[in-house]
Amino acid sequence: MDRVKTGVVGLDTMLNGGFLPARPYVVSGPTGSGKTVLAAHFLLEGLRLQEPCLLVTLDEPPIEVKANMATFGWNMDRLKILDATPDVRAHKRQRSVIDVGTSLDVRDMEDVTDIRQSSQVRALEVTVHSVQKMIKQEFSQHLERTKQRYKRIAIDSMTALKMFSMEGQDSRILIQSFLRFLAELEATTLIVSERLDRRKLETEFFLGRGEIRMHKWIDGSMIRRALSIEKFRGSAFDDKMHPVTIGDRGMVVALDAPSQIRGTSPEGKPGESLLETRLIDEVSNVIESVMRQIEEAHRRQIPIRDVEVALSRAMLAFQRRNYQKAMKIALACDSQLRERIAEAPPPPPVGMPPRPPVIR
């Protein structure tokens, strides 16, 4: 199978040639670690190969994105950018209206939790839907205009998008359906997402077929960066952490020297015992399997909303480090899904109109 190159020197070697096509991948890491630069490399590589590429920007307006990329001498004129930032600006305005403080950092999640509780901000919860609609429209217009599908899509970032979603269960279901929608576009998608805490398992990490994790830490007076591949389904990969430099021509991963974090690591895992790590892995595996079955059930239009809600509870328990409870719920979801998928009639042959969903 042809690989989809990221265009980052060193990273494609780590990925055994590149991503597998038409699947969603996640790039995670703290602020300033190089997520946006990596996403830009990925899109630039597509443009170089004459592939239609789309950037959905939520963090920075398109003009800033292009200006930042120009500092590397990259011409991104052929890149289609969907500007999803106006909602962020609306959010900023709302904030002054409800007077919850003065400085706004879109990454300040705790602040946002406070704001979310305001009924005024609820109005912005349509954002996930509207972004999905924007992408859908752009996709079909592009197909009509050029008879070509977008080959590469980058979403920068999921973290910003999620800020406008409701707290708790519904937001997870919303995000799950958004990710399913992305997967169905059959483009290779790069989803930028912060994951500062290993225990905070966000939906995209389960649905993503792979995760590239960016690291950034302070070593004396130097800021150091590195990169590792956390998972890559269906392929062999280099699982060591390698140093990253961002210079005049973008990002380079040095393969000769595996990186060792020295100095203060902001993303260290203090106090996480071996037993806890194993528990995390085991629960993650069950949740991951449940999510794959949810995808399957959706494809076959089997009603499973109750299972999705239960899974959200499992994920919440997981975040609270109540692994026993998380495992119990996830296993119950797993057996429910197996049962319903086994009982459901076989999928209709291709070409038949889909059955209307049954409301349970």
List of residues contacting Mg ion (CB under 5 A): 36
Q: In angstroms, rounded to a whole number, what is the distance separating the alpha carbons of residues 240 and 222?
A: 22
Which of Mg ion, ligand ATP, none does 284 bind, CB closer than 5 to 8 A by kind? none
Contact of 211 with 227, CB cutoff 8 Å = no
Closest CA to 86 of 118, 56, 116, 117: 56
Within 45-64, the residues that bind ligand ATP by CB under 6 A are: 59
Q: Binding to ligand ATP by residue 75, rule CB under 6 A?
A: no
CB 225, min distance to ligand ATP, A = 8
Nearer to ligand ATP, 72 or 232 (CB): 72
CB 36, min distance to Mg ion, A = 3
Within 13-42, the residues that bind ligand ATP by CB under 6 A are: 29, 31-37
Contact of 164 with 125, CB cutoff 8 Å = yes
Contact of 290 with 281, CB cutoff 8 Å = no
Nearer to Mg ion, 87 or 156 (CB): 156
Q: Binding to ligand ATP by residue 119, rule CB under 6 A?
A: no
Which of 19, 25, 72, 232 is the binder for ligand ATP (CB under 6 A)?
Answer: 72
For strand 24-28 and strand 188-193, is the pairing parallel, antiparallel, or unpaired? parallel
CB 356, min distance to Mg ion, A = 42
Residue with tokens 């086994």: 342
Nearer to ligand ATP, 73 or 356 (CB): 73
Nearer to Mg ion, 53 or 302 (CB): 53
Nearer to ligand ATP, 155 or 283 (CB): 155
Residue 78 identity: R
Which of ligand ATP, Mg ion, none does 31 bind, CB closer than 5 to 8 A by kind? ligand ATP
- Cα distances (angstroms) measured from residue 149 to each of 70, 185, 208, 228, 343: 26, 9, 21, 30, 36
DSSP 283-306: HHHHHHHHHHHHHHHHHTT---HH
Q: Binding to ligand ATP by residue 246, rule CB under 6 A?
A: yes
Q: Binding to ligand ATP by residue 243, rule CB under 6 A?
A: no
Q: In angstroms, rounded to a whole number, what is the distance separating the alpha carbons of residues 162 and 144?
A: 30
Which of ligand ATP, Mg ion, none does 243 bind, CB closer than 5 to 8 A by kind? none
Contact of 25 with 192, CB cutoff 8 Å = no
Binding site for ligand ATP (CB under 6 A): 29, 31-37, 59, 68, 71-72, 246-247
